[in-house]
Amino acid sequence: MTSEADLPFELYSKIFLHSLPANGVARPHPHESPLLLLQICRRWRTIALATSKLWDSLFMEYRHDPGYEAVSPFAVHSTAALMDLWFTRCNGHTLSLTLRSYKYPEWTAQLPHFLDLGNFNGSPSELRNLTILVIDGVVPSVFDCETSLCTKSPLLAILRFGNLFQSVPHRLLTSVAAASSNLTILQLESFDPSCPLAVLDLFPRLRQLIFRYIGHRSEDVNNHAPKAVVARVLSSLYIEGYLGDMLQHISAPSLRHFGVNVYDEYSSHAAISFISRSRCTLHRLSLCASTQTISPTLLRLGEKVSRLDLLNFAFKTQATGAVLTLALPHLPRLENLSLFSRDGSADVFNEIFRLLDAHRKSLWRVHIILQPISEGDQPAVLPEIEKLVNGLHHLVEDAGMRITLQTPHLQWPDEDAVELNMVDMQLSYNAFPPYEPVAWSIYQ
């Protein structure tokens, strides 16, 4: 019998599971193509190993779930070796590396080891995209400037630290800026409300900034009286937290996408002042439930907005309907609407359909993501979702709308999944296995 240690690294990678057919239907994906080719025959395996461009992306995910066996002691210790294997096989092509973990302390404790330069035979100099998403925090040594991959990658263009609930140290950002002048997308969290000002100063080519302030409201920015920052090339900004003071010191004339989730009235008014002062032309707005009071004003400033995201709005109330009713007259170019709901109940599904049906003549593209539904609640919720799906089918057929419905981790019965996949391709939804990676934010 073959021991675990004798099996290929790919068998312990979540990406290998993704290459398997789901519900009898193969689902090729650029990130899975090398592993799919490896399985065909010996000749195609040779071709896949020799085609370095196929190995330009690696996604690994570990979940804290008793029924999920992706993280065994051997798998944890082999992760660095797996990453080294990918670095070697990409052989000069820019590499995208995504590591995601959900409250799994064993994996989190090993993260610095995975990202240590000393563990790689392949060259990390080709690293272009590094994304680390860890729910429940990381150990501080992951930000070690001397050994971290992100400080030794001159081609690095995308750097994301998400859901860490820890402040990314300024010294790490300084090291990244010294290593790469190509960074255009940055996501981070900090206890320092003035961090975005420093970031925009360090990375003048930054085009997208996602910043989450994880502290309490502070007057530090005003006390230190920082200079005003003009982010001339910044085209996308998403902020969260008590950031009114920071917004008073920044302008972005090239901004096209503004996302805001602020917690107090002062920050809300600062957001409006920021948009007015920037004199930018917005094409996309992302509004959270906390911004309901300023939504009307922001909407009036976005007459050229073609995409509107409503994040975590309470669909049981009239707030979402009121925002949409207000939005449509002020957004004559609105074509795309995204709804992200944390409430999975029959009332919510009915309200979503009612809103879409009422605006069927105005909307062309709709994307819906529902809150992940636990396995215990699925038997009761599934019939209600099926009713919603039937209603969405009518909108697709009668109004010509393009609708995407994502139900993360929801297990559709096999016969339903096959039937739904065969219906109009304009209406697609999650019929994949329960641990398929799904969009975790508006940027995926």
The answer to whether position 177 is within a domain reads: no
Q: What is the mean pLDDT of residues 103-111?
A: 61
Q: Each residue of 155-204: pLDDT tens digit?
A: 888 888 876 667 788 888 888 888 888 889 998 888 888 888 889 989 98
The answer to whether position 175 is within a domain reads: no
d(CA 69, CA 12): 9
Residue 409 domain boundaries? 311-317+328-433
Residue 430 above 90 pLDDT? no
Angle of CA points 61, 62, 65, to nearest 5°: 140
| Higher per-residue pLDDT: 47 or 425 | 47
d(CA 65, CA 133): 17
Beta bridge partners of 77: none
Q: What percent of the chain has pLDDT over 90?
A: 8
| Upper half-sphere CA count for residue 414 (Cβ side, 13 Å) | 5
Q: What is the mean pLDDT of residues 227-231?
A: 86
The answer to whether position 124 is within a domain reads: no
Range of weakest confidence among 62-71, 154-163, 373-382 = 62-71
The answer to whether position 412 is within a domain reads: yes
d(CA 138, CA 166): 8
DSSP 348-360: HHHHHHHHHHHTT
User: Taking the CB of residue 239, how many other CB atoms lie within 10 A of it?
Assistant: 22
Give how many domains the chain has, as a whole number.
1
Lookup: tokens for 280: 């930018």
Q: Of 24, 54, 25, nearest to 38 (Cα)?
A: 54
DSSP 165-222: -SPPPHHHHHHHHHH-S---EEEEEES-TTHHHHHHHH-TT--EEEEEE-S----HHH
The answer to whether position 425 is within a domain reads: yes
The answer to whether position 123 is within a domain reads: no
User: Taking the CB of residue 42, how many other CB atoms lie within 10 A of it?
Assistant: 8
Q: Each residue of 259-315: pLDDT tens digit?
A: 888 878 888 888 889 999 999 999 998 887 666 666 677 777 777 888 888 876 555
Range of weakest confidence among 57-61, 106-110, 249-253 = 106-110
Beta bridge partners of 98: 59, 131
Q: What is the dihedral of CA 80, 84, 86, 87, to 10 degrees?
A: 130
Locus of tokens 């990390």: 124
Residue 240 above 90 pLDDT? no
The answer to whether position 144 is within a domain reads: no
Range of weakest confidence among 32-41, 250-259, 337-346 = 32-41
| Higher per-residue pLDDT: 91 or 123 | 91
The answer to whether position 131 is within a domain reads: no
